[in-house]
Amino acid sequence: MKIEKLVIATGNVKKLKEFERLLAPLGISVVAQSEFNVPEAPEPHHTFLENALAKARNAARHTGLPALADDSGLCVHALGGNPGVNSAYYAGAQKSDADNNAKLIADLRGVADRRSHYTAVLALVMREDDPEPIIVEGRWYGEIIDIPRGNGGFGYDPYFLDPELGLTGAEMPIDQKGARSHRGRAFAKLAVELNDRWGGDHASRA
Ligand code: IMP
């Protein structure tokens, strides 16, 4: 069974755009869960994996469609992996990028070790009680800078420098970010998994 349409379990419009671009080459169209008034799933878990799966199952339950969710965040080495799964709420429940970034930079004041990485876990379920979800992970290694650069991306991107390119996530065009990012890397793995289950020679598999 090949997937043609996927509900994306996110309320983040910029993330949705990234999903759309990454899935188009696979011939999969996306629809936002907001179009079905899906209530946001709670994210109470300690791992990206459990939160991603909870979000995907929640979207499938409310729509009856296959659903794809990601749970992602920024892990800063000197902060013991924080903000991690709490990245969206680092500075409080208001989920403000500006407040989160201000807290991050304040927490790193005087800290020399700026190593960090973004992690994204993608979970795809065919239905709410799918016993064989597809789960993949991607990482993007970089470092945190004190002065923001660029207007693209979202979240922590203006402060996240990709040292190999010398650009922050916010300075990259969306395609370049997609090729480098945690989400992009996870997607590359997802494409392999999808092809293995339903693509190419396996198109007739259930
Ligand atoms: P989620 O929606 O629960 O997965 O929260 C992810 C949070 O991690 C976002 O609100 C951002 O703060 C941060 N984050 C994840 N991916 C990115 C990215 O690509 N750029 C910048 N921030 C990101």
pLDDT in tens, 47-59: 999 999 999 999 9
CATH classification for the domain delimited by 5-202, as one of 3.40.640.10, 3.90.950.10, 1.20.930.40, 3.40.50.360: 3.90.950.10
Q: What is the C-alpha separation between 195 and 28, in angstroms, rounded?
A: 12
Q: Are 103 and 88 spatial neighbours (Cβ–Cβ below 8 Å)?
A: no
Ligand 1 lined by 83 (C-beta under 6 Å): no
Output the pLDDT for position 12.
81
Q: CA nearest 155: which of 74, 45, 55, 41?
A: 74
Residue 129 known to be catalytic = no
Output the pLDDT for position 206.
42
Q: What is the C-alpha separation between 93 and 100, in angstroms, rounded?
A: 10
Token duo for residue 49: 């994996």
Rg over alpha carbons for the chain, rounded to the nearest Å, is: 17
Q: What is the C-alpha separation between 91 and 201, in angstroms, rounded?
A: 48
Q: Which ligand 1 atom sits nearest the alpha carbon of residue 183?
A: 19
Q: What is the C-alpha separation between 125 and 149, in angstroms, rounded?
A: 37
- Of 12, 33, 74, the residue with max ligand 1 atoms within 8 A of its CB, to mutate for a pocket test, comes to 74
Of 70, 71, 157, 162, catalytic: 71
Token duo for residue 107: 């927490």
160-189 tens-digit pLDDT:
999 999 999 999 998 899 899 999 999 899
pLDDT mean over 90-116? 97
Counting residues of the chain whose pLDDT is more than 70, the rounded percentage is 96
- Model pTM above 0.85: yes
Q: Which ligand 1 atom sits nearest the alpha carbon of residue 71?
A: 4
Confidence of residue 200 (pLDDT cuts 50, 70, 90): low
